Amino acid sequence: MLFKQKIIVKYHTPYNAAQLEQIKKSDWIDLRAAENVELAQGEFKYISLGVSMMLPKGYEAILAPRSSTFKNYGIIQANGIGIIDNEYAGEDDVWFFPALAMRDTEIPMFSKICQFRVQRRQPKISFCKGISGKPNRGGLGSTGI
């Protein structure tokens, strides 16, 4: 039996149409726009995702666009991916999607625009100067086409 982590969520939407749930087919959990959004090509906006969460100690969330987000809405996530650590946990620490519009677009409230997964935070690391002693792989892009 798998152990399930419990995450406390506060919803900031007028009603619970955007309840979070993890589906069996994926480790990623969809998030929805918590507002109606209109963007012109080249415009940037932090789109509210309508949730605040208290992640377990020692965990963080990775936020990324859904595979259909660009096709459906013409937006990309301005910072590539987002990292939300467990310290961003206040009731009003609302999660946002930093959207950059590549074309004029409209995103209706409660549209699925991104997804997240929870993972353990990286342990503290110290670096020491030296060489690995391993042979070179062949440079950038050397694993084949």
Q: Which residue would you say has higher pLDDT here, 34 or 4? A: 34
**Does residue 127 fall inside a structural domain?**
no
Structure confidence at residue 144 as a pLDDT band (50, 70, 90): low
Mean confidence (pLDDT) of the chain: 89
**In this structure, is residue 132 part of a structural domain?**
no
Share of the chain above pLDDT 90, in %: 66
Q: What is the pLDDT of residues 6-58, one digit of tens each?
A: 888 998 886 655 678 777 778 899 999 999 999 999 999 999 999 999 999 99
Residue 1: pLDDT band with limits 50, 70, 90? very low
For residue 61, the tally of other CB atoms under 10 A from its CB is 20
- Residues that are catalytic: 85
For residue 93, tell me if it sits in a domain: yes
pLDDT higher than threshold 80 for residue 142: no
pLDDT per position as a tens digit, 106-126: 999 999 999 999 999 999 999
How many folded domains does the chain comprise? 1
Residue 138 lies in a domain: no
| Tokens standing for residue 91 | 């009731």
CB atoms within 10 A of CB 39: 21
The parent domain of residue 69 ranges over 8-15+27-120
Cα distances from 113 to residues 35, 69, 75, 106, 130, in angstroms, run: 12, 5, 9, 12, 44
Do the domain assignments include residue 43? yes
62 is a domain residue: yes
Query: Is 67 part of a structural domain of the chain?
Result: yes
Query: Is this structure's pTM higher than 0.85?
Result: no
Among residues 41, 36, 31, which one has the least CA distance to residue 101? 41
Q: Is residue 61 part of a domain?
A: yes
Specify the CATH number for the domain of residue 77: 2.70.40.10
